[in-house]
Structure 1
Amino acid sequence: MLAYRTATCSAPAYFHLLLRIYIPSRSLRCASERRLVVPSQRGSKSLSRTFSFTVPGWWNDLPTPIRNRDTKGQFLLDHVCNHYSLLEKDYFGIRYVDPEKQRHWLDPSKPVVKQMKCQQPYTMCFRVKFYPQEPIKIKEELTRYLLYLQLKRDVYHGRLLCPFTDAAYLGACIVQAELGDYDPEEHPADYISDFKLFPKQSLKLDSKIMEIHQNELRGQCPALAELSLLQRAHTLDTYGVDPHPCKDFTGSTAFLGFTARGFVVFQGNKRIHLLKWADVSKFKFEGKTFYVIGVQREKKLVLTFHTSTPASCKHLWKCAVENQAFYKCAKSSQIKTVSSSSIIFKGSRFRYSGRVAKEVIEASSKIQRDPPVVHRSARSRTRAFHLSVITQPTVHSAGLSALKDSVHLSPLKPSIHVDHEDEACAALTISDTAYSPCASVVPTPVEESQGGLNLLFQSPARLLKELHADPEMQLELQAERERELTREAFRQSLCSPSSGRQQMQACLLSAARLVVMATGLLVILLPLLLVLLESDLDISFLHDIRQTPEFEQFHYEYYCPLRRWFLCKLELMTEQLWGD
């Protein structure tokens, strides 16, 4: 059986779906966890699975027919989306974490079991994978609501970093969607303090959020407030960025990301690079080094970055290839298989197997049905979410048109993305604070036994305190400090004179060994080659060498005289021995 469970919490719920996969050995009934494990069928390719999804506000049991080792990730993704009537599913994906804490996207074209390297149970999360460039083109309210929940999570984790005015507007939209219109009789003076919306939330920001909520967003229903947030968020430079931490060639920390516009690099509070997809030629990686090859101002540009592990570098490369194919290609038939390295060394090969952005938008425009109705509890921070689908396929566009027309009543910030070459090349300040998302610190799957959703919505200071108290986190930090000390000691050893002389002696010794080895090989191989050439062996490549003018000249001018001289000397030595 496929069981859906909801974690209760007093904090605002966000878009979170956990998938646990179990491989049982015998029939077992788990009444407490509402799971039914069916014994595996006969045959090596037959498996039984129990999937447990956790989605705040979704209270359904879903039977699943997945009992085969060859079941691919696309089937699992389709199964979830079909159950909840999600048609615009190309924007979403399933993410999991391996035992080394490395995140991965479930590959739809590969079997699920072969991608899982950790021990059971397997835990996965449902996430927005590709952010739509224009959220207004999303056809159904359900898809917009899920995107809103993902953006709300990005805001809290510091991924969607933005200036103060934009942050206040986004926070006000969330409050309007959660609480509705401001009511002085119902809401106290500090009602905004109960919302943990940003990693660092100041009194000044709270005051601005309340001002916008009380004055500018009054009268907006939850769907309209969510659409207002989408309209403002998609104009930001950090919209859609799934940050990948790394080091640049100077050793400074940078965050790489991929958006609908192209490849971006953030450092401090600035966006230091923006390569549009049309200017990106290729992504490749070797070990822990990631390369971006492109063109900027009609000159070839090669950007080099270093990740912490080869696995994280490969994950970064796969994300780059998928995002480039999704946003750049006009048709999925144009997508090609790419290699991670040069022609000689093939390396990893990968191909994005889904639809591209233009095809997704075109498919959305052709949806002809009454969309699923999203019922929200208007005054509760724990958002109940219920879906009901009208089975009769009818055109339902009046509601969407009304939303599109009314969303312009709210003051939205105009897009700052000017399509100029200088704007893409120059560093752009994105916020008053440095870009430092905390999503890489907090595990993607959040277990209910470890605090669940409540943990994520605690204050940042308490969150960091608990993380640093975690023994695993302490071990990771200690290992990082030891690696830094090792690198520092190595740099100091390079600067000292004594170590320089030792390194020079080591280099000379290595060169001498190489020369001796090469000389020994020549001494052994050259006589062997001469013996083969002068022998009567009828081998094609030896015959071809014998026919060359150079070999004939060598044979008559050097080899024959040398052989006669050697035979004469041998004959004289033999006569002397016999004479004695």
Structure 2
Amino acid sequence: QRDAKGQYLFDLLCHHLNLLEKDYFGIRFVDPDKQRHWLEFTKSVVKQMRAQPPFTMCFRVKFYPTDPAALKEEITRYLVFLQIKRDLYHGRLLCKTSDAALLAAYILQAEIGDYDPGKHPEGYSSKFQFFPKHSEKLERKIAEIHKSELSGQTPATSELNFLRKAQTLETYGVDPHPCKDVSGNAAFLAFTPFGFVVLQGNKRVHFIKWNEVTKMKFEGKTFYLYVSQKEEKKIVLTYFAPTPEACKHLWKCGIENQAFYKLEKSSQVRTVSSSNLFFKGSRFRYSGRVAKEVMESSAKIKRDPPEIHR
């Protein structure tokens, strides 16, 4: 359908996946300038694409569940597991070696089941790519945990344990936006279920809780985050995105994430302006449900769990 809206395509996909807890997910595409975008559900799909068909889009987690282990259905947990496994592989989920070994061992258990000396010769874990790069020592540690600690766990249990562990990490839910700080140093900005995060050199240098973020603005390539902390301390964090388009995308992601995680109900969502002058700049409104509503509606799901094709 030429004038089909984003919502139509998204619902079609969720129906195909037999997914009811769909509010955590979205559709991402990249424009010809290599800029990432989330498909807006209220607008026509074709009008959002600047490329020529066929269009390439990917279904991925957009809002990471605050507690993924508490998701109602196994199908949802499985899809979130796949996303975080991918985050680990692409180096977005940073963790210390012991955590990395445990997460990888859970993946191994979920994918190949119990260790079997007949089927799993020396170095068997090296056939799997869990991280951007890893050492033989880490591979041995992964195999050791898999052999000795995880025997008997079903794929669903291993995935659940993986989610429980991943959710405790500082970079859980990070979808990084490359920027520079005011000194010109490279930084990655991200929005997580718990707040706004800045990463520099694999370390979290800022963490601002959602209730401390008072507003987000952008002008050209400059992104401003207004923060109000205890003792009436007000600060403005300033970062520079590579392009105005990247800055706008960052701002929109921030607006959506704050609305999703912070608000009690979607009727509280307001249209926001990117500028202090309302008639100037971009205007944007989050169009979905908020986390609290999503969890309430998940609790009401009553159906036989769909079959999962791993």
Same fold (TM over 0.5): yes
Aligned to 1:334: 268
For the pair 1:311 / 2:256, whether they are aligned, the reply is: no
Aligned to 2:151: 218
How far does the alpha carbon of each residue in 1:73-116 deviate from its partner, in whole angstroms, 9 at most, with x for none?
01110111112221011011011111101010000111111111
2:174 touches 2:190 (CA, 8 Å); kept in 1? Answer: yes
- How many residue pairs get aligned? The number is 309
For the pair 1:236 / 2:131, whether they are aligned, the reply is: no
- Taking the aligned partners of 2:98 and 2:278, their CA distance within structure 1 comes to 52
- Taking the aligned partners of 1:238 and 1:244, their CA distance within structure 2 comes to 13
Moved runs in structure 1, 4+ residues, more than 6 A?
A: none
RMSD value, Cα: 1.0
Shift of 1:185: 1.4
1:282-321 superposed matches below 5 A = 282-297=215-230, 298-321=232-255
Q: Which moved more, 1:121-130 or 1:290-299?
A: 290-299
1:355-434 superposed matches below 5 A = 355-376=289-310
For the pair 1:149 / 2:57, whether they are aligned, the reply is: no
- Taking the aligned partners of 1:68 and 1:121, their CA distance within structure 2 comes to 13
Secondary structure class of the residue paired with 1:75: helix
- Taking the aligned partners of 2:21 and 2:128, their CA distance within structure 1 comes to 30
Secondary structure class of the residue paired with 1:122: coil
Identity of aligned residues (%): 66
For the pair 1:130 / 2:55, whether they are aligned, the reply is: no
How far does the alpha carbon of each residue in 1:294-314 deviate from its partner, in whole angstroms, 9 at most, with x for none?
113431110000011100000
Task: List gaps (5 residues or longer) in structure 2.
Answer: none
Shift of 1:345: 5.1
Aligned to 1:167: 100
- Taking the aligned partners of 1:85 and 1:251, their CA distance within structure 2 comes to 46
For the pair 1:349 / 2:283, whether they are aligned, the reply is: yes
- Taking the aligned partners of 1:212 and 1:78, their CA distance within structure 2 comes to 40
> Larger % of helix: which?
1
How far does the alpha carbon of each residue in 1:382-437 deviate from its partner, in whole angstroms, 9 at most, with x for none?
xxxxxxxxxxxxxxxxxxxxxxxxxxxxxxxxxxxxxxxxxxxxxxxxxxxxxxxx
Secondary structure class of the residue paired with 2:56: strand
- Taking the aligned partners of 1:95 and 1:315, their CA distance within structure 2 comes to 12
2:30 touches 2:36 (CA, 8 Å); kept in 1? Answer: yes
1:66-215 superposed matches below 5 A = 67-69=1-3, 71-215=4-148
- Taking the aligned partners of 1:158 and 1:148, their CA distance within structure 2 comes to 15
Shift of 1:215: 1.1
How far does the alpha carbon of each residue in 1:267-313 deviate from its partner, in whole angstroms, 9 at most, with x for none?
11321111100000001100000000011343111000001110000
Shift of 1:344: 5.8
2:2 touches 2:46 (CA, 8 Å); kept in 1? Answer: no
Secondary structure class of the residue paired with 2:187: strand
Change in CA separation of 1:252 and 1:345 when aligned onto 2, cut-off 3 Å: farther
Aligned to 1:274: 207
Question: What is the letter of the counterpart of residue 131 of structure 1?
Answer: Y
1:294 touches 1:301 (CA, 8 Å); kept in 2? Answer: yes
> Larger % of strand: which?
2
Higher Rg of the two aligned structures: 1
Shift of 1:230: 0.3
Secondary structure class of the residue paired with 2:94: coil
- Taking the aligned partners of 2:278 and 2:132, their CA distance within structure 1 comes to 47
- Taking the aligned partners of 2:183 and 2:251, their CA distance within structure 1 comes to 21
Q: Normalising to structure 2: TM-score of the pair? A: 0.98
Shift of 1:237: 0.7
1:137 touches 1:361 (CA, 8 Å); kept in 2? Answer: no
- Taking the aligned partners of 1:173 and 1:105, their CA distance within structure 2 comes to 30
